[in-house]
Each structure stands twice: as structure tokens, then as C-alpha cells.
Amino acid sequence: MTDGVVERSRPRDRILETAQDMFHKHGIKGVGVDAITEAAGTNKMTLYRHFESKDELIIECLRATAAKTARIWDEFEARHPGDKLAQLHAWVQKASEMLSADCRGCDMANAAVELSETDHPARRVIKELKEAQREKLVALCRDAGVGQAELLADTLSLLLEGARVSMQSVGAEGPSAQFVRMAEGLIASFRSR
Amino acid sequence: MTDGVVERSRPRDRILETAQDMFHKHGIKGVGVDAITEAAGTNKMTLYRHFESKDELIIECLRATAAKTARIWDEFEARHPGDKLAQLHAWVQKASEMLSADCRGCDMANAAVELSETDHPARRVIKELKEAQREKLVALCRDAGVGQAELLADTLSLLLEGARVSMQSVGAEGPSAQFVRMAEGLIASFRSR
DNA sequence: TCTGGAAGTTACAGACCGGTAACACCCTAG
DNA sequence: CTAGGGTGTTACCGGTCTGTAACTTCCAGA
């Protein structure tokens, strides 16, 4: 008697999921609320009953994306329980998989680029979420027994961030193609120190 | 009798310079042609007499920015003639200086993020210009006597690209603060191999 | 069966967008 | 002095954007 899990979920969930997808593919300023609601099989009034503005919707989308990323980290722990070094290698592997041909980069970084107004409400959220992710990676490096865990984590961060944006300018055959080699080389280098 | 160099330059030049500045600060989709022409002290008709469309103006702006970057490279050669290793260190130094507090990142990378349409005419130009810059850095690394010059150049590329985008999400106190240490460490590591 | 709230529909406001037409102006080269 | 090209001005087109109003429909729970 209950509706289908995906197709017939509640309008709010459909809007959120559709908006995430469309913001990711076409950029925030490249998608209007009309297009989102239509793709979500609903209408504009319903959107504005659940989200007080487009900015609020953007923020909720970023939070949802961050939550998805957090679930991937749980997967690392589940697959390699207690083995932090293995989890770090899994992180590299997972990161490289995100560098597929049609990669559109990190939603939060892209949003920061698009929303250039320094007082945009989404900026605070982006900073918070990114800082949380940074701390997680630092903790992983430290628990993996690497010296200078902060430096390794930050270097890996920048490499991935760079790879994701580089893909969008020069494509998958550019510098980002060497991401795994760079990251593994770095980890090895930091561990032997 | 000739006009002042900056204030009274020709409309086309003023438009180009103003557009570069405004695109950089507010993003491409965040600036309309009206705002550009007004800031340039001219009007929309004059803009469209010199550029056939906004897209064309965007492309000319990207070319102009790339030309400015090329001039910085000439500076390296002028300051350290023949000493490619010193030029590589100068590149790191210059790159770190671009990571100031209000850094808005690389115009080409930002444009690639904003212009998500895969067939946008600016995308070809971005790819060409970025590939040219990559080849320059590879050549510099090779001429500096570094083994695996391509890998070092690509790693430095990704680090810088990542630092410039990271600044916009988490600010200057984030991972990008360690850019110089990372880059110099990499260069030393590659040279001692 | 009745009721109340969630959702859909249509229309609209007000602003901004890229781009064009028509015309007046000024300054310089001949 | 004059002709003409570059420039400025104003008005406009059709479209899109976020956000709202007023109304209808539907459906679940009492």
C-alpha cells in the first residue's frame, strides 16, 4: 500500500534529490527553480512551501551532498575495520574513481566559485563542511601512523581538489590522470620518514 | 595631445580590461554586459560593435589573462637568465603570492566551472591555454634537471590549482597555507632521486 | 462521511538578461 | 569646410529569473 521508494517519495525529497543532481550537472546559476520542480515532477509553489528561498535550497543540497560523502567514509571503516592505513588507501582509490571522464568536480568547491558574493549564506556552510572533511582526513592520516599527518592530509586535499578542477578545464587526460601515483607516492614518502 | 594612457584609452581596451576585472571578481554569470559597459565608462552598443557576443568577450578576456600570465614567465627568465632551477623556485614563490586572502582563483578554471555546457565555445580556448601552460611548466622542470619532469610539473599544477580553489571554500588559513612547503618539498624530493 | 492540510494549477509581479534599432553627436582626416 | 567613422543615447524586444497570490484538487485520519 505504501508508495514506491524512489518514484513516489515525498515532494520535498524529490526536489532535494533533483536539485542536487541538476546543480551538480549544470551549476547553481545555470539552473532555475522552475526547471528543478518540473524535473522533480512537482511545481514551484510546493518548492517554496518546503524551502524559504533558492539559497536555502542550495544550502540543504550542500548538506545532503556532505552527508553522502560521510556515508562513504563509513564504508571505509566497515570494509577495513580498525585498519586506518588500509582506509587511507581506500580513500585514494575512491577519490580516483571520482575522476571519471565527465567529472564535474566537488559541489562545494564549485558553489564557492559560483557564489562570489562574500556574504552569501551558503559560504558559511561550505566552510564548515569543508573544515569537517579536512579534520576527518587529518585524523585518518594520524591514526594511520603517519608523521606530519596534517601536512600529508592537506597535501592530499589540495591534490584531489586540484585534480577535480583540472579535469574540468583540460579533461581526464591532463595532470589529474596521475592522481593515484602522486597520492600513493606521497603516502609512501611520508611513512618512510 | 595624445590622451591619458589609462583613463582615456580606447573603448575596446577599457571594456576588455573592465570585463576581465569584473569577471574575475564576480564570476562570469554574475556580471551582465550593462554593468561592464557602465563600469568601463561606455555603453552597450559600443561593446557589441567590438565583440559579437558576450561569449566572444569572455574568450577575449581569457586570452588576455593568459597573456598576462605569459608575461610573468618572461619575468622569471629575465630575472634568472638561463638558471632554470631558480626560475622554478621563482614560480613557486610567485604562485604563493597569488594565494592572498581575497584570492578568487584561476579565471580559466573558474570559467570552466561556471560554463558547464560542454559545447560552450570558451571551453576549447580554456583547454588550449591550460595545455600550453602545462607544457611550459613541464619544460621548466625538465630544463631544471629534474627526473620525471612531467610528473613533478603535473603534481605542482594540481597543488596550485587545488590551493586556489581551496582558498575560496575554506579561506587562506586552510590547506593552501602550506603550499610553499609542499611545493619545495616536492622539488627537493624529485631532485634527490 | 466530513474535515483539514498538503499538493497542484494558473497567473502574475518586478527585476534582470543579452542583443538590436534608430538616431544624434563629435572629432579628425581630407 | 566637409564627409565619414567611431561613439553616445534612448528605447525597445523577447526571454528568463525568483518569488507570490488565489484558487482548486486530492487524500488521509477522525
Per-domain residue ranges for chain B? 7-51, 63-191
Using left for φ > 0, alpha for ψ between -120 and 50, and beta otherwise, residue A76 falls in alpha
To which H or E segment does residue A148 belong? none
As a whole number of angstroms, the distance between CA B88 and CA B160 comes to: 14
Query: What does the pLDDT read at residue B9?
Result: 86
Closest CA to B117 of A36, A19, A30, A161: A30
A101: confidence class by pLDDT, cuts 50, 70, 90: confident
Q: What is the average pLDDT score of chain B?
A: 95
Quick check: B156 and B97 in contact, CB under 8 A? no
Q: Could you give the angle at which helices B54-79 and B121-143 cross, rounded to 10 degrees? A: 10
Mean pLDDT of A85-95: 98
Q: Is the pLDDT of residue A3 over 50?
A: no
A9: confidence class by pLDDT, cuts 50, 70, 90: confident
Cβ-defined contact of A154 to B29 (cutoff 8 Å): no
A1: confidence class by pLDDT, cuts 50, 70, 90: very low
A193: confidence class by pLDDT, cuts 50, 70, 90: confident
Helix (H, G, I), strand (E, B) or coil at B179: helix
Q: Is the pLDDT of residue B6 over 70?
A: no
A107: confidence class by pLDDT, cuts 50, 70, 90: very high
Lowest mean pLDDT, pick from A4-13, A98-107, B142-151, B165-174: A4-13
Answer whether B109 touches A (CB < 8 Å). yes
Give me the total of CB pairs closer than 8 Å, taking one residue from chain A and one from chain B.
150
Mean pLDDT of B67-80: 98
The domain made up of B63-191 has a fold known as Tetracycline Repressor; domain 2 (1.10.357)
Higher pLDDT, A8 or B168: B168
Neighbour-count burial of A124, counting CB atoms closer than 10 A to its CB (0-12 exposed, 13-18 middle, 19+ buried): exposed
Cβ-Cβ contacts under 8 Å for A68 (sequence gap 6 or more) = none
Q: Could you give the angle at which helices B107-114 and A149-170 cross, rounded to 10 degrees? A: 70
Q: Which residues 165-184 on chain A approach chain B with CB closer than 8 angstroms?
A: 165-166, 168-171, 174-176, 178-179, 181-182
Answer whether B32 touches A (CB < 8 Å). no
Name all contacts of A138-147 with Cβ < 8 Å and 24+ positions apart: A140/A84, A140/A87, A140/A88, A140/A91, A141/A88, A141/A190, A143/A84, A144/A84, A144/A85, A144/A87, A144/A88, A145/A84, A145/A85, A145/A191, A146/A187, A146/A190, A146/A191, A147/A190, A147/A193
A30: confidence class by pLDDT, cuts 50, 70, 90: very high
B63-191 shares the fold of B7-51: no
Quick check: A143 and A84 in contact, CB under 8 A? yes
Mean pLDDT of B72-96: 98
Answer whether B64 touches A (CB < 8 Å). no
A134: confidence class by pLDDT, cuts 50, 70, 90: very high
Answer whether A109 touches B (CB < 8 Å). yes
Cβ-defined contact of A169 to B27 (cutoff 8 Å): no
Query: What does the pLDDT read at residue B137?
Result: 98
Give CATH for domain A62-191. 1.10.357.10
Quick check: A170 and A147 in contact, CB under 8 A? no
Q: Dihedrals φ, ψ of A13, to 5°? A: -65, -40
Cβ-defined contact of B130 to A169 (cutoff 8 Å): yes
As a whole number of angstroms, the distance between CA B104 and CA B165 comes to: 8
Mean pLDDT of A65-84: 98
Using left for φ > 0, alpha for ψ between -120 and 50, and beta otherwise, residue B171 falls in left
With CA of B33 and C1' of each nucleotide, the nearest comes out as C18
Residues with CB under 7 A from strand D: A 31-35, 44-45, 48, 53-55; B 10-12, 41-46, 49-50
Mean pLDDT of B87-107: 96
Torsion of CA A78, A61, A130, A184, to 10 degrees: 50
The domain made up of B7-51 has a fold known as Arc Repressor Mutant, subunit A (1.10.10)
C-beta within 7 A of nucleic chain C, residues 22-81 of B:
31-35, 44-45, 48, 53-55
Q: Is the pLDDT of residue A78 over 70?
A: yes
| C chain positions with any atom within 7 Å of a protein CB | 6-11, 16-22
Closest CA to A111 of A58, A42, A169: A58
Nearest by CB to residue A165, choosing from B165, B170, B179, is: B165
Q: Is the pLDDT of residue A5 over 60?
A: no
Answer whether A26 touches B (CB < 8 Å). yes
Helix (H, G, I), strand (E, B) or coil at A120: coil
Give the CA distances from residue A7 to residues A10, A11, A65, in Å, rounded to whole numbers and listed in that order.
9, 10, 20
Find out if CATH 1.10.10.60 is the number for domain A1-51: yes
As a whole number of angstroms, the distance between CA B34 and CA B36 comes to: 5
Cβ-defined contact of A165 to B109 (cutoff 8 Å): yes
Mean pLDDT of A39-57: 97
The alpha carbon dihedral of B125, B128, B130, B133 has a sign of negative
Mean pLDDT of A106-115: 98
Closest CA to A168 of A109, A124, A125: A109
A26 min Cα distance to partner chain B (Å)? 5
